[in-house]
Structure 1
Amino acid sequence: MQAEIIEPAVRACLAEIHGKLKAAEQIARAARACAEAGGVAEAIQVSMDIEQLIYEACRLHDAATLLARMPHDVKA
């Protein structure tokens, strides 16, 4: 594939990863606040949404690394 296709796609994947991890961080902060306030069960419930975000970030990372490994001179 050509670099003008691959590089923007990798940048888009990385931007999405950043967004998902920022959302996961916000959830983790809320869960931590619940736990510190004594609501451990509520904290666990709040934190359950983190798993999907991390899963999606991992798959996006897989896509970005796969794209980055593709030869830049292959014609599609």
Structure 2
Amino acid sequence: MVKPVFNDAVIACLDEVHSRLSEATQIAKAAQACARAGSLSEAVTVSMDIEQLIYEAGRLHDAASLLNRLAQD
């Protein structure tokens, strides 16, 4: 592959990392609102969706890092 393809792939991965983390932020805000309203059980239930998003963001970041290293070879 040529470097522009690697660059485009890294950018796409980072865009997806941003998307996942933005969604996680919104869920965290909703969970925080539930907790502050006194519904701790609901807050924890709402926050459970964050885990998968953070996992996906981490793997996407791993992919971006790998592609960056490959592009430099």
TM-score (ref. length: structure 2):
0.95
5+ residue gaps in structure 2? none
Deviation readout 1:13-56 (Å, 9 max, x if unpaired): 00000000000000000000000000000000000000000000
Larger of the two Rg values belongs to structure: 1
How many residue pairs get aligned? The number is: 73
User: Where in structure 1 do 4 or more consecutive aligned residues deviate above 4 Å?
Assistant: none
| CA-based RMSD | 1.1
Return the structure number with greater helix share.
2
Does the 8 A contact of 1:2 with 1:72 survive in 2? no
Which residue of structure 2 lines up, in the alignment, with residue 6 of structure 1? 6
5+ residue gaps in structure 1? none
CA–CA separation in structure 1 for the residues paired with 2:62 and 2:27: 23
